[in-house]
Structure 1
Amino acid sequence: MMWPGLRSGAKGEGLSAAQVAVKVAEAERRERETRQHLDSPASERGPYDGDPEDLAEQWVARHAEWRRVAALMDGQGWLIYSPERDVQGSAWARERDAQREGALARRAAWQRERQDARDELKAKVWLSGEVSRRLRVIAARTGLEPEQVLAQLVDRVRVDDDGALTVDAFTPR
């Protein structure tokens, strides 16, 4: 079972069997409490209580993981927990780290896209028939869409000191 949010290696390193037993008991108590909280009416929950189902799932997973660590220590005869010797726990930790890094990268990409979308300007431009025909001819010759030609045109606009707009001659690409 993979458990979100708990790193027994980081939190359990150097713990004795008795200390791990305390962690098992605490996780069991918290699992029970979060299940009871989950069963309580939503009106009794505070405005800052997170997702009670998510919290309950986390404590179920943490309880299971601390039980696994206790059983591993007992089965291997370890006096203290060492994440380096816990092959399964270490593999899960690496997998969690990879998932977390992927999630952070996806979130950063999503935030960049949102910022780019806020910076974009979408405009409808009504052109006269003659200007529209010329734009379509230019676009057809370059293999671009008319909107792409206009975007390239706007990229090259300069504003003079007197506020006049100018564009040097260019070939759309």
Structure 2
Amino acid sequence: MAQVANKVAEAERRERETRQQLDSPAIDRGPYDGDLEDLAEQWVARHAEWRRVADLMDAQGWPVYSPERDVKGSAWARERDTQRAGALARRAAWQRERQGARDELKAQVWLSADVSRRLRAIASRTGLEPEQVLAQLADRVHMDDDGALAVDAFTPR
């Protein structure tokens, strides 16, 4: 019970200090200070949670806090774990997508008017976009032993 009371007091003190920092001029803040508004919100939430735990322990007559008996706190913890797992899964998917994007190449190609007209004509006959024809062409390029690039005859699809 004493530890919970200390946590309530600490959260209250930190909440007050963070609010004072928010009210102080920005010149007093260092370049590496975090987002004070976010920090203030975190301390408000921590203070409220520690007060809830203290009130629960007092109302239930618990000498020691037991998360297993704290139905509301346990539900919130499970919800946070679920949210965290979802966020981690989304982050992992994003990283896999970024890795795939790193392996891809986006190129902007400037072609002469004559080559551009021929490419557009080929694309229109095949029903493809010019970029799709170029992608298929690049997909079939190979390098000879002497370093020359070559493409075997193919029909764009």
Q: Same fold (TM over 0.5)?
A: yes
User: Deviation string for 1:11-62 (max 9, x for gaps)?
Assistant: xxxxxx2211111111001111111111111111122210111111100110
2:101 maps to 1:101: no
Q: Distance in 1 between matches of 2:90 and 2:9?
A: 36
* Structure 2: stretches of 5+ with no match in the other structure: none
Give the deviation of 1:110 after TM superposition. 4.6
Aligned to 2:52: 68
Aligned to 1:138: 122
Q: Distance in 2 between matches of 1:128 and 1:48?
A: 54
Using the aligned pairs only, state the percent identity: 79
* Structure 1: stretches of 5+ with no match in the other structure: 1-16
Distance 1:89 1:45, change over 3 A: same
Among candidates 4, 7, 11, match of residue 27 of structure 1: 11
Q: Distance in 2 between matches of 1:84 and 1:141?
A: 70
Number of equivalenced pairs: 156
Give the deviation of 1:77 after TM superposition. 2.1
Q: Distance in 2 between matches of 1:97 and 1:139?
A: 52
Secondary structure at the aligned position of 1:166 is classed as strand
2:106 maps to 1:121: yes
Q: Distance in 1 between matches of 2:133 and 2:78?
A: 49
Q: Distance in 2 between matches of 1:76 and 1:142?
A: 77
Amino acid at match of 1:122: A
Q: Distance in 1 between matches of 2:128 and 2:93?
A: 28
Amino acid at match of 1:97: D
Q: TM-score, normalised by structure 2?
A: 0.83
Aligned to 1:90: 74
Amino acid at match of 2:32: Y
Distance 1:44 1:118, change over 3 A: farther
Q: Distance in 2 between matches of 1:156 and 1:85?
A: 66
Distance 1:172 1:92, change over 3 A: farther
Secondary structure at the aligned position of 1:33 is classed as helix
Distance 1:93 1:168, change over 3 A: farther
2:39 maps to 1:55: yes
Amino acid at match of 2:139: D
Secondary structure at the aligned position of 2:145 is classed as coil
Aligned to 1:3: none
Root mean square deviation, CA, Å: 2.4
Give the deviation of 1:64 after TM superposition. 0.3
Q: Distance in 1 between matches of 2:92 and 2:27?
A: 35
Q: TM-score, normalised by structure 1?
A: 0.76
Q: Distance in 2 between matches of 1:127 and 1:75?
A: 82
Higher relative contact order (CA 8 A, sep 6+): 1
Q: Distance in 1 between matches of 2:54 and 2:93?
A: 40
